[in-house]
Each structure stands twice: as structure tokens, then as C-alpha cells.
Amino acid sequence: MTLTEENYIKAIYHLGKYGKEMVNTNAIAEALDTKASSVTDMVKKLSEKGYLNYKKYQGVILTEKGKDVAVNIVRKHRLWEVFLVEKLNFTWDEVHEVAEHLEHIRSEKLINELEAFLEFPMYDPHGDPIPDRHGNFKNIDKVALAQSEVGKVYTCVGVKDTSSKFLKYLDSNNIGLGTIIEVLYKEPFDNSVKIKLNAAEMVVSQNVAKNLFLKEV
């Protein structure tokens, strides 16, 4: 497979909620920042190769063959992120783009040895589950801060937005995986949320609240 084909399959996997739902071509075009016509050509090609099912005017969904490829790419990406943070002292806002390149390495032995070297981590630095060599992974029951309940206390377990800007914002406000957050108040006007962490209170925007994943303590 080409790198472009792998990127398409991974994008469809994520957009389709781990390959469970059909994805329209416009969503794929937006995710990959390309033209809808280019997407149509590629999904037809991937359909012919047996990686997805394409229905005109409806969208695409991954086949089992396509899911296997997607899960393997995701596994490599997340293992490399762990390696970069734990062994090379990268910060969590620096690893995504580097892992985007490393995920295309084809050596199965290398990835299996990497996983063993890292002592079989279950989650990456952003809190996302890492599939094992058989494609199995363990999800955490989590809720976005935007859907949390006022008065309850949570632990930060992940982020939806892995962009460098968002992660740096969290770092600047001392928010990371494991941070204890108490939800104090939700503002109906703009859906901002007042929270308490590290004995300090702060208000976060709706955009932050929908991109921060929590688990009730």
C-alpha cells in the first residue's frame, strides 16, 4: 500500500468511529484537506482492493481487511508516541507529527519488539488505547468535560484534540493526564465551564470542554 492509501484508511477508521459507521466523502476530504473528487477516485481504488465498501451518494465503510490495516497503523502510531515521550523526552505536544511518519514503517518485528521494550503499554501519551498485535484494545469509560455533571470530581484521562496548540494550552494551565478536576458551574450563555484544579479555580471555553476527556473519581 502507498502512504496515501494508508492515510485514507486511517482517516476513515477514525471518522467512522473505529470503522463501525459509514463515512461520507466530504468528511474524508475535510479531514485530509483534499478535493472531494480526489477522495472519490481513491475510495473507488480502495474498494477494488477490498479495503472498504463504497456506495455512491452514501459513503464508505471499512471491510474487515480495511479495519485490520487501520488498527495496525494506529497501533504503530501510538507505540511510537509512547517511545518518543518515555525514552526520548519529547513532550506530548511534539509527538503526533513525528509519529505520523513513523507509523508507516512496515517491519512487524520492529513494532513487536518496540511494544515489548516499552513493556506493553495500554495507552498513549494522550490517553488513547493502544491495540495489541491481535487488534484488541481496552477503552476507558470517559466523558467530555462539556457533558460532565456539576458538583462531581473527575480525573483527566485523555484529549480529543491532539494539536500542539491545544496541548500547550493545557500545559500552561497545569492540566494533564491524571489531573483531578472538580466541575463547579456551567454557563448556559456560552457553554463555558468553571472548574477547580490544584486548589485554583478557572473558566474554560466550550471548545476546551468538548476536547477534554474525564473519568469520574
Average pLDDT of the residues in 154-160 = 96
What is the layout of strands, in order, in the sheet containing 212-216?
A: 143-144, 212-216, 153-159, 180-186, 193-197, 200-204
Query: How large a percentage of the chain has pLDDT more than 90?
Result: 90
Residue of 116, 151, 156, 161 lying closest to 140 (CA atoms): 156
Is residue 89 scored above 90 in pLDDT?
Answer: yes
Residue 51 is classified by DSSP as: S
How confident is the model at residue 101, as a pLDDT? Answer: 95
Q: What pLDDT was estimated at residue 198?
A: 87
The DSSP bridge partners found for residue 53 are 61
- The per-residue pLDDT for range 91-105, each reduced to its tens digit, is 999 999 999 999 999
Average pLDDT over residues 145-164: 96
Q: How confident is the model at residue 138 (pLDDT cuts 50, 70, 90)?
A: confident
- Band (pLDDT 50/70/90 cuts) for residue 81 is very high
Q: What is the pLDDT of residue 58?
A: 87
Q: Can you give the pLDDT at residue 92? A: 96
pLDDT tens-digit map of 58-69? 899 999 999 999
How far is 200 from 166, CA to CA, in rounded Å?
A: 20
Mean pLDDT of 194-202: 94
For residue 7, the model assigns a pLDDT of 95
| pLDDT surpassing 90 at residue 140 | no
Cβ 9 vs Cβ 52: under 8 Å: yes
Nearest C-alpha neighbor of 205 from the set 169, 156, 152: 169
Question: In terms of C-beta density within 10 A (0-12 exposed, 13-18 middle, 19 or more buried), how is residue 207 classed?
Answer: middle
pTM passes above 0.85: yes
- Cell numbers 490544584 label which residue? 198
Give the model's pLDDT for residue 114: 98
| pLDDT, mean of residues 26-31 | 95
**Looking at residues 158-180, what average pLDDT do you find?**
95
- Residue 19: its pLDDT value, please? 86
- What string of DSSP letters covers 148-216? --TT-EEEEEEES---HHHHHHHHHTT--TT-EEEEEEE-TTT--EEEEETTEEEEE-HHHHTTEEEEE
pLDDT of residue 139: 82
